[in-house]
């Protein structure tokens, strides 16, 4: 018997003890202490006997329908009342030197049978209602778990759909770079193709992953910037700093690469002299802060700020982190995009 069941049985026995003792005290006020002791002995003997029988046949009870189960329980209550009465009578004899026999014994037995049926039935109703409530609670909990699973699957599907859009977008831009290099600098075009193959080999390996290690993501960014460096030459300068303790933090794939590509498109490419890009990953308390800074003039048109690159990044952050992630854009002498992610 589990501890909780034992505690409930003891509580029920104490309640029955008090009820019976109060009834007997009302009829025999001069013998209230003896009535209390007798009630305690018999209520516990009967209550524990009924509880033990119910526990013994518990598995069989669950196989019956409601009416057969109730009938079987009545039989168990009667049997437990008889056994408990005899045990109580024995305890009386051993510890108090008194016993009940003859007509008194029969009267006591009938009285205990009545109490066993009444309180047993009340206990059956209570535990049946409690069992139904627990079953409903389990169903609701399972429903919540299923809804959460569906929500996660939906989120993963949306993230993968966005990823499927990003890869061709990135490939299209890189192929344009290669096309422009073929006639001007064939060797650089060949190197770019090799870098591109390296990037897409990694991308294929991570297909289906909704997150990657920050260190792996930054390695992709370096490979991407190397490709762009071949195209822009001295017009592009870049630097990358990262706290080594953040290497194993997981982020959505091509997140930082998307920011770097956005800086190339809006901050470097329009400028005749080119410019510089700085990428920094640092820790601020329980947050991972990724900042991409470029020397461009910022977004003169609000439409640019909501273009495909930044829009897809915002959507992926919202899907992966909800309101726990933030993306901020600021422009002064430099354009700065700052992403704040939870470490956990």
Is residue 218 very low, low, confident or very high in pLDDT (cuts 50, 70, 90)?
Answer: very high
Of 126 and 333, more confident: 333
Is residue 282 very low, low, confident or very high in pLDDT (cuts 50, 70, 90)?
Answer: very high
Structural domains for the chain: 3-144 (no CATH), 185-342 (3.30.565.10)
In the predicted model, is pLDDT for residue 10 greater than 70?
A: no
Looking at mean pLDDT, say which of 52-61, 106-115, 119-128, 227-236 comes out highest.
227-236
Give the torsion sign (CA, 11, 13, 17, 19). positive
Partners of 292 in the beta sheet?
A: 279, 337
Q: How far apart are CA 206 and CA 201, in angstroms?
A: 9
For the record, the structure tokens of 194 come out as 């090799």
pLDDT at 303: 42
Q: How far apart are CA 157 and CA 152, in angstroms?
A: 9
Average pLDDT, rounded, for the chain: 78
For the record, the structure tokens of 324 come out as 């726990």
Is residue 289 very low, low, confident or very high in pLDDT (cuts 50, 70, 90)?
Answer: very high
Q: How far apart are CA 242 and CA 222, in angstroms?
A: 12
Q: How far apart are CA 273 and CA 236, in angstroms?
A: 9
Is residue 302 very low, low, confident or very high in pLDDT (cuts 50, 70, 90)?
Answer: very low
For the record, the structure tokens of 339 come out as 């992403």
Residue 307 three-state SS: coil
Q: Position of tokens 């061709």?
A: 168
Which of 14-18, 89-93, 160-164, 202-206 is predicted with the least confidence, judged by mean pLDDT? 160-164
Q: How far apart are CA 259 and CA 257, in angstroms?
A: 5
Parallel, antiparallel or unpaired: strands 275-284 and 250-251: unpaired
Is residue 64 very low, low, confident or very high in pLDDT (cuts 50, 70, 90)?
Answer: confident
Is residue 215 very low, low, confident or very high in pLDDT (cuts 50, 70, 90)?
Answer: very high
Is residue 342 very low, low, confident or very high in pLDDT (cuts 50, 70, 90)?
Answer: very high
Looking at mean pLDDT, say which of 60-74, 87-101, 234-248, 320-334 comes out highest.
234-248
- Rounded mean pLDDT of 280-304? 81
> How deeply is 141 buried, as exposed, middle or buried, from its count of CB atoms within 10 A (0-12, 13-18, 19+)?
exposed
pLDDT at 224: 85
Is residue 6 very low, low, confident or very high in pLDDT (cuts 50, 70, 90)?
Answer: low
Q: Phi and psi at residue 271, in whole multiples of 5°? A: -90, 130
Q: Are 21 and 33 in contact (CB under 8 A)?
A: no
Buried b (16+ CB within 10 A) or exposed e, 286-315: eebbbbbbbbbebbeeeeebeeebbebbee
Q: Are 266 and 299 in contact (CB under 8 A)?
A: yes
DSSP conformation class of 326: E
Of 34, 120, 58, 57, residue with least CA distance to 84: 120
pTM (2 decimals)? 0.52
- Rounded mean pLDDT of 269-275? 88
In the predicted model, is pLDDT for residue 306 greater than 80?
A: no
Of 103, 92, 12, 100, residue with least CA distance to 51: 12
């Amino acid at each position: 018997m589990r501890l909780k069941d034992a505690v409930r049985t003891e509580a029920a026995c104490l309640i029955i003890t008090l009820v019976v003792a109060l009834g007997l005290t009302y009829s025999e006020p001069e013998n209230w202490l003896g009535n209390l002791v007798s009630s305690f002995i018999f209520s516990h003997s009967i209550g524990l006997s009924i509880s033990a029988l119910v526990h013994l046949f518990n598995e069989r009870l669950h196989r019956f329908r409601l009416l057969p189960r109730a009938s079987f329980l009545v039989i168990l209550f009667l049997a437990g009342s008889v056994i408990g009465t005899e045990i109580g009578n024995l305890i009386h004899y051993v510890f108090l030197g008194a016993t009940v026999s003859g007509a008194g014994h029969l009267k006591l037995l009938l009285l205990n049978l009545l109490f066993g049926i009444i309180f047993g039935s009340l206990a059956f109703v209570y535990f049946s209602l409690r069992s139904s409530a627990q079953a409903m609670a389990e169903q609701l909990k399972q429903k919540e778990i299923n809804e959460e699973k569906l929500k996660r699957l939906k989120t993963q599907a949306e993230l993968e759909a966005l990823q499927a859009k990003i890869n061709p977008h990135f490939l299209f831009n890189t192929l344009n770079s290669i096309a422009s290099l073929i006639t001007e600098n064939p060797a650089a075009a060949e190197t770019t193709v090799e870098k591109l193959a390296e990037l897409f080999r990694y991308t294929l390996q991570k297909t289906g992953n909704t997150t990657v290690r920050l260190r792996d993501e930054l390695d992709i960014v370096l490979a991407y910037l190397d490709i762009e460096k071949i195209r822009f030459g001295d017009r592009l300068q870049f630097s990358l700093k990262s706290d080594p303790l953040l290497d194993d933090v997981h982020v959505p794939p091509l997140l930082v690469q998307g920011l770097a590509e956005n800086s190339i498109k809006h901050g470097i490419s329009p400028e005749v002299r080119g410019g510089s890009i700085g990428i920094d990953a640092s820790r601020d308390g329980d947050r991972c802060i990724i900042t991409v800074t470029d020397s461009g003039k910022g977004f003169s048109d609000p439409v640019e700020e909501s273009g495909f690159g930044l829009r897809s990044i915002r959507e992926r952050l919202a899907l992966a982190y909800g309101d726990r992630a933030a993306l901020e854009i600021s422009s002064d002498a430099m354009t700065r995009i700052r992403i704040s992610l939870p470490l956990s």
